[in-house]
Chain A
Amino acid sequence: MHNVCGMTALGLSAALRRRELSAREAALACLARMEEREPQLHAYLTVSRDEALAEADAADRRLAAGEPLSLLDGVPMAVKDNICTKGVRTTCASRMLEGFVPPYDAGAVSRLGRAGAVLLGKTNLDEFAMGSDTGTSAFGPTANPIDPSRVPGGSSGGSAAAVAAGEALFALGSDTGGSVRQPAALCGVVGLRPTYGRISRYGLVGFGPSLDQVGLVTKDARDCAAVLAATAGFDPHDATSSRQSPGAYLDGIGDGVRGMRAALVRESLAEAEPCVRRELLRAVAKLESLGARVDELSLPFLKDMLPAYHILGSAEASSNLARFDGVRYGFRASGVSDWRSLIRESRSQGFGLEVKRRILLGTFVLTKEQRDAYEKARRLRRKTASSMAAALSYYDFLLLPTSPEVAWKRGEKRDPVAMYRSDLFVVPASIAGLPAVSVPFGEENGLPVGVQLVGRAFGERELLRAACAVEEGRK
């Protein structure tokens, strides 16, 4: 009997093709794992068991006929609950959208549907993806499967926990300022934020459209390449999606890093906890032993990027979340007498604290009086993007930690600024729109550490090749 929950997506794919087990059995194995672990983890907000089994049966018919739709046909997956799924409740972990059932699939979900992947359910997140430990979910937090007394990271903590716990073979997340990479690092799985525009944002209930990207959580770099191949590509419904054709991400993924040039971002060493620094330096040594050249590079304004990110992200969020007004759908306050109080009360009661905090911050920085801060953040963003692009014109990828620390105890970070600081190393790639991947490398007291590789725009193929080498080097 196969241990489905311990397999990679590509491993399961091969077994399905050989008909050693069925897609239905694979889905049932994940559902059984959920029964066992969900009471403790709470990675899922919605499990669509019946629909999943029906999709698995359809996949089995195709597999039996020898006509699978793709490598992912029949492979069970989870989708973060801020990505719209037609007919399946999509809440953004907010009271505001508690009963919202979208009449449309997100672009990435449609593509995976056409590839035959089986949707098991929707995963938990920080409310509207605003947070770094999946603790702001209106429906309760998610626990880290490696140590349930600890956080899984966030905001895609549900997706990372589900994949790490074997409750799904891979998952979609979203990454605005590290929301896929950071939880992947804390849960010991691979997390990819693709280049801005690589995967359609249509149907992603993001909060900062210039920063949001659909991201992937997988068990290893090869799975990541396979899922990227299934989700990347132009979408006529997203004007910011790229027309550049996706690469053959799996081709040559195991070819190694010999001759590649990498740059370790010097400032990141001082800002990371000793164990994280140790593992990062070990990864550098490993890359060098595999034939890559690693230099040190300075990104002096690294620390300025975090406030710039929060100014830009919150500004866009204040506008993007304004549509939740209780008028057309979602939470609606009762007992109000006029439209102004309907909007005010619906928003006051429907949103949680962190969301309100960012809406207020964003509204504030967009006012005429505070315009300077907003414009300054925009300038810093352009500067960041151009200096990182300049570095990447020479280097194949940049190396940074993913998170400054390993998974912390639940409830430990109550100060929002301390929480924001955990995104220090993931924000630069977001601001620059570059692809970045977090790969597990080493551990501290059994808790995983992730290293982060930032690549060239649309250079996911080379980036994943390097990630694959790091991954294999950790053993």
Chain B
Amino acid sequence: MSTQYETVIGLETHIELKTETKAFCSCAVVFGAEPNTHCCPVCTGMPGALPVLNAKAVEFAVKAGLLLHCRVSLRSKLDRKNYYYPDLPKAYQISQYDQPICTGGWLEIPSGGGTKRIRIERLHLEEDAGKLIHSEVGTLLDCNRCGVPLIEIVTMPDFRSAEEVTAYLQILRERIRFAGLSDCRMNEGSLRCDVNLSIRPLGSHTLGERAELKNLNSFQFAAKAIAYEERRQAAVLDAGGTLFPETRGFDEGTGETFPMRRKESQSDYRFFPEPDLPPIVLTQEQVARWASELPELPDVLRERWRASYGVNRETAEALTITRAAAEAFGRAAALTRFPKLLATLLAADPARLAEGEIPVSAEHLAALSDLLGEKTIGSGTAKELLALLWKEDQDPREAVERLGLGKITDRAVLGPLVQEILADCPRAAADYRAGKKAALQALFGQAMRRTQGRADPDVTRELFLAALQAEPQKEE
């Protein structure tokens, strides 16, 4: 290769908002339901049916914009984007054309050991289309997804590599999910991303002809498509060819992009203001209230927990899997003397944390980690107790009392137990005295087994050592 190229990428990301109902009617937003069980005259485009804007969709779009440091437009409007396609019931999509609800934000991503800001050009609200299902009897239409609220986030052409794109998408997804605005599942289509990619000779400041890559169903595929497209465009230029604007698909099987359509044949969408809906008018107070309802960002929380509690990155990531989990930990951590132990205990079962609301009160979580930290219970017991509290929230101290789960430190109890074990296991005792120090572990394990793990390890060990030194047994 003679020329060195630089890749320039901009992203258009579509995210389905997790509102209870659709953008313009009261049908439920549900993924994976029986086809056409969540639709009505409005979202199937029946004659005379009219859209009414879902206030929650506006709120969620604004909140997403605030997470990306966007300016919120106090007045914006909806427009019709006109085109024919069998999955678009009204033959127009209600979208926002020249007055998007949010503009001009940024998202910081790690890049080359430092950080880099990706500028957000705009974020607007629109509706999703239906789904075509190709079957033996022909092509069928499922309208469940028609009218599901979407936001489209358009970045400036600020990415220079697939790694930056992936980092951006990961941070974006985490923030949107954490704020409860969307599930952002690429495999279910609740997060979709189109990549606009061009290359230019290194040092050049003009943009090359770009290809728009579609159908990228995972971060991995997005990275692969970018890598392929960089090579393809470079090969065309190196061979003296010219590139032209086009839309390309991605074949997951071959890892290659393929042409879908040339851009110059792109239709004129004949945008005009949606006459069925009044403009979206917000007040400064409303936007401020929504901003105050947003959670602290997960990366901020992780850094704080690392600095003040010594919680490591992996554990902190598990705790920030949902806003509910993070907030539950945050509240309990402030009440316990052993926040790091609590972090480790909660993070041990990330699947359970991700389920939704945390059913255990902060006081009880704090009490549980105190019991662990004070060594009243061991970590095995702590895990069992946590599972118990998850099923039915209760005071763990009372549960320890009631169920007799506390550690046994009483020498009057442990002493006879040690004698009993030594009598039952003469071979292990002999091995220890013969110099096999590992044999102590077997005896110790017996003590734990016989007390269901409640024997205090320090006292038990001490008693064993004392017994083995003081009273050498006869050989058998």
| Chain A positions near chain B (C-beta within 8 angstroms) | 82-84, 90, 92, 97, 100, 102-104, 106, 201-206, 208-210, 236-240, 315-316, 318-319, 322-325, 327-329, 339-340, 342-343, 363, 366-368, 374
Q: Is B41 a contact partner of A319 (Cβ separation < 8 A)?
A: no
Q: Can you name 24 A-B pairs with beta carbons within 8 Å? A: A83-B48, A84-B47, A102-B41, A102-B47, A102-B48, A104-B49, A203-B49, A205-B47, A205-B48, A208-B275, A236-B52, A238-B50, A240-B275, A240-B276, A240-B277, A318-B82, A319-B270, A322-B84, A322-B92, A323-B45, A324-B47, A325-B91, A339-B139, A342-B86
Q: Is B48 a contact partner of A329 (Cβ separation < 8 A)?
A: no
Q: Is B50 a contact partner of A327 (Cβ separation < 8 A)?
A: no
**Consensus secondary structure, chain B interface:** loop
Question: CB within 8 A of A328: which of B49, B84, B89?
Answer: B89
Residues on A with C-beta less than 8 A from B276 are: 209, 239-240
A209 and B275 CA atoms in complex are apart in Å by: 6
Residues on B with C-beta less than 8 A from A204 are: 48
Q: Nearest CB to that of A84 among chain B residues?
A: B48
Q: Cβ of B44 < 8 Å from any Cβ of A?
A: yes
Q: Cβ of B53 < 8 Å from any Cβ of A?
A: yes
Residues on A with C-beta less than 8 A from B44 are: 328
Q: Is B90 a contact partner of A322 (Cβ separation < 8 A)?
A: yes
Q: Which residues of B (75-94) have their CB < 8 Å from a CB of A?
A: 80, 82, 84-86, 89-92
Q: Nearest CB to that of A200 among chain B residues?
A: B50
A356 and B197 CA atoms in complex are apart in Å by: 41
Most buried by A among B48, B91, B276, B278: B48
Closest 6 CB pairs of A and B: A322-B91, A210-B275, A366-B270, A209-B275, A205-B47, A203-B48
Q: Cβ of B440 < 8 Å from any Cβ of A?
A: no
Residues on B with C-beta less than 8 A from A239 are: 50-53, 276-278
A374 and B272 CA atoms in complex are apart in Å by: 10
Residues on B with C-beta less than 8 A from A368 are: 268
Q: Nearest CB to that of A208 among chain B residues?
A: B275
A432 and B275 CA atoms in complex are apart in Å by: 14
Q: Kindly provide the distance from the CB of A143 to the nearest chain B CB, expressed in whole angstroms.
A: 27
Knowing A315-B272, A322-B90, the reply to whether A343 touches B84 (Cβ < 8 A) is yes
Q: Is B84 a contact partner of A325 (Cβ separation < 8 A)?
A: yes
A209 and B50 CA atoms in complex are apart in Å by: 10
Q: Is B272 a contact partner of A319 (Cβ separation < 8 A)?
A: yes
Q: Kindly provide the distance from the CB of A128 to the nearest chain B CB, expressed in whole angstroms.
A: 10
A329 and B52 CA atoms in complex are apart in Å by: 22
Q: Nearest CB to that of A128 among chain B residues?
A: B47
1/0 per residue B36-70: CB within 8 Å of A? 00000100111111111100000000000000000
Q: Nearest CB to that of A343 among chain B residues?
A: B84
A78 and B185 CA atoms in complex are apart in Å by: 52
Residues on A with C-beta less than 8 A from B41 are: 102-104
Knowing A210-B275, A239-B278, A323-B90, the reply to whether A328 touches B45 (Cβ < 8 A) is yes
A209 and B51 CA atoms in complex are apart in Å by: 12
Q: Is A202 a contact partner of B270 (Cβ separation < 8 A)?
A: no
Given A318-B82, A319-B82, A325-B84, 19 new contacts (CB under 8 A)? A82-B48, A84-B48, A92-B47, A100-B47, A104-B46, A104-B49, A203-B49, A238-B52, A239-B53, A240-B278, A316-B275, A319-B92, A319-B272, A327-B141, A339-B85, A339-B139, A340-B84, A363-B270, A367-B270
Q: Is A237 a contact partner of B90 (Cβ separation < 8 A)?
A: no
A327 and B50 CA atoms in complex are apart in Å by: 19
Residues on A with C-beta less than 8 A from B91 are: 319, 322-323, 325
Q: Is B86 a contact partner of A339 (Cβ separation < 8 A)?
A: yes
Q: Kindly provide the distance from the CB of B276 to the nearest chain A CB, expressed in whole angstroms.
A: 5
Q: Is B48 a contact partner of A202 (Cβ separation < 8 A)?
A: yes
Residues on A with C-beta less than 8 A from B86 are: 325, 327, 339, 342-343
Q: Kindly provide the distance from the CB of A180 to the nearest chain B CB, expressed in whole angstroms.
A: 17
Q: Nearest CB to that of A236 among chain B residues?
A: B52
Q: Kindly provide the distance from the CB of A172 to the nearest chain B CB, expressed in whole angstroms.
A: 13
Q: Kindly provide the distance from the CB of A440 to the nearest chain B CB, expressed in whole angstroms.
A: 30
Q: Nearest CB to that of A209 among chain B residues?
A: B275
Residues on B with C-beta less than 8 A from A316 are: 272, 275
Knowing A240-B276, A366-B82, A374-B272, the reply to whether A90 touches B47 (Cβ < 8 A) is yes
1/0 per residue B122-140: CB within 8 Å of A? 0000000000000000010
Residues on B with C-beta less than 8 A from A100 are: 47
